[in-house]
Amino acid sequence: MKRGRLAGAAVALSGALALTGAATGAAPAPQPEATLLRFAAIVDGTGERLPGREVVVAAGRIVATGDALARRHPAARRVDLGRLTAAPGLIDAHVHITYGFCGPSRGDAWQQLLQETPPAERLVAAIDNAARTLEAGVTTARDLMALDGVDFQLRELIERGVVPGPRLFLGGTGIHPLVMPLEAAGSTAERVASLSRRAHEVAGRGAQWLKIFATTGTGADLSGTRNYDFPELEAAIKTAHERGLRVALHAYGPSVVPDAIRAGADSIEHAVDVDDQTLRAWAAAGIFYVPTIDHNRWYADHRGEFGYSTEDEAQLRAFLMRNTAMLGRAWQAGVPIAMGSDALLGMSGENTRELEWFVAAGLPPAAALRAATTDGAHLLGEQDRLGRIAPGFTADLIAVDGDPLADIRALTERVRWVMKDGAIVVDRRAGRNQIRPARYCTRSGSPDSPEVPVRPASSP
């Protein structure tokens, strides 16, 4: 019951309202004054460099961009970001922000996650992950599977300003064989009904997304065997859409992709090896592809901690290449693409390294930036509010060292400052404070395969 109440309350909040405290019953914050930010350059989520070097924000919104804005805003507080370049706050379209990992001393990572972690401990991990995600410059994230309602609790804590973290769009506990065992689901009609029921439940808890694990595949398991048949997928997607949810389909292999297109999914996660004809249909349907390449690099780099064999690692690294090749082909075919890291189990904070694979796949840095800003905003249905540095948009900005249109690592390695909803939430410039909460557990060990490059070295 408590979980439902928290979820309901979280739904009632919007990011802007949460800052004022108005929706939570807290004392209203004093009306914020305008702030005039000055950068070396401004790069918008369109991938274009804007004329001018200044941005004025007030009440959590961007008011103006350009030059000599102090004349029109003489009372604005001034913040000089020196030689840093502004970009919109980044959007990570695929995270598991509640998944912590205490290290191998407590046994298998998946066993810990799925069976041995009590909800209170999940929340501690989630709070740590949320801070790390924000520090990476990610001001908005879509979470696509969580247990025990901890994602809703985290969202409420962030929206109330209790803990730092990105704005969250949630999928709650989706449709997964773990929570809906295949063998126990009965006849086709019963299975259709049960998937439809689950879609109702997820909507009722305050999620915006339904996640369906349409195939196997996670961790060192790179199989893409179908979990659910077309009638089941179609029923779940239809119900979700009727309830106002969008639907993300987990599909490791290509087998289920035609069904996902036919049934009207809103995004397809992970998929590799999709043939050209299907890719054309995919592009025509306007369904987003979220390739989530880099999380397999995370598993490979940390295979000792995850208990994976050297063969597992070799397969993970081979999958990275297949996934990167697929991204390049999807991009060429005109499939809309959003950046999603699949950050989980200790990976939070490395979310944006995904963009280095985008460039390795042949996308220009400007397109990679769009995937993590304007395109991510489209995926979420927030294209009029998020992902751009333009008047009327939410004041989510990052300041990076370098030119992200020339060197993607300006985004992936050199985020120095983050503003969310008009508030400075990370400041790593020399001599400044930075948020650094206590870590969840202490992950022991270090990458155990240092001979293998941990960055995409070249295009496939």
Contacting residues toward Zn ion, per CB under 5 A: 342
Dihedral sign for Cα 335, 373, 411, 289, please: negative
Q: Cβ of residue 319: shortest distance to Zn ion, in angstroms?
A: 14
Q: What is the DSSP string of 255-266?
A: TTHHHHHHHT-S
* Nearest CB to Zn ion, comparing residues 294 and 342: 342
Q: Cβ of residue 239: shortest distance to Zn ion, in angstroms?
A: 22
Count of residues making up the chain = 460
Cα–Cα distance measured from residue 417 to residue 426, given in angstroms and rounded to the nearest whole number:
5
In angstroms, the Cα distances linking 108 to 114, 222, 446 are 10, 18, 17
CB-CB contact of 450 with 301 (8 Å): no
SS3 177: coil
- The two tokens of residue 444 are 């022991």
Segments in 334-373 forming alpha helices (H):
354-360, 365-371
Q: Cβ of residue 419: shortest distance to Zn ion, in angstroms?
A: 28
Q: Cβ of residue 170: shortest distance to Zn ion, in angstroms?
A: 13
* Nearest CB to Zn ion, comparing residues 342 and 356: 342
End-to-end CA distance of the chain: 50
In angstroms, the Cα distances linking 149 to 158, 169, 196, 208 are 15, 13, 20, 14
Q: Cβ of residue 96: shortest distance to Zn ion, in angstroms?
A: 6
Position 229: which residue type? D
Owner of token pair 């030119």? 403
Q: Cβ of residue 313: shortest distance to Zn ion, in angstroms?
A: 20
Q: Cβ of residue 301: shortest distance to Zn ion, in angstroms?
A: 18
The torsion angles phi and psi of 404, rounded to 5 degrees, stand at -65, -20
Q: Cβ of residue 94: shortest distance to Zn ion, in angstroms?
A: 6
Position 287: which residue type? I
141: closest CA among 325, 428, 460, 377? 377
Helical pair 310-333 and 276-285, crossing angle rounded to 10 deg: 60
* Nearest CB to Zn ion, comparing residues 94 and 409: 94
Q: Cβ of residue 292: shortest distance to Zn ion, in angstroms?
A: 7
Q: Cβ of residue 112: shortest distance to Zn ion, in angstroms?
A: 17
- The two tokens of residue 355 are 């963009």
Q: Cβ of residue 210: shortest distance to Zn ion, in angstroms?
A: 14
CB-CB contact of 274 with 282 (8 Å): yes
* Nearest CB to Zn ion, comparing residues 234 and 342: 342
Cα–Cα distance measured from residue 154 to residue 172, given in angstroms and rounded to the nearest whole number:
12
* Nearest CB to Zn ion, comparing residues 371 and 410: 371
* Nearest CB to Zn ion, comparing residues 96 and 416: 96
CB-CB contact of 282 with 333 (8 Å): yes
SS3 148: coil
* Nearest CB to Zn ion, comparing residues 96 and 205: 96
* Neighbouring-strand partners of residue 362: none
User: Which residue is at the shortest CB distance from Zn ion?
Assistant: 342
Burial class (CB in 10 A: 0-12, 13-18, 19+), 190: exposed
Q: Can you list the positions of beta strands (E) in 144-245?
A: 167-170, 209-213
* Nearest CB to Zn ion, comparing residues 205 and 211: 211
* Nearest CB to Zn ion, comparing residues 219 and 422: 219
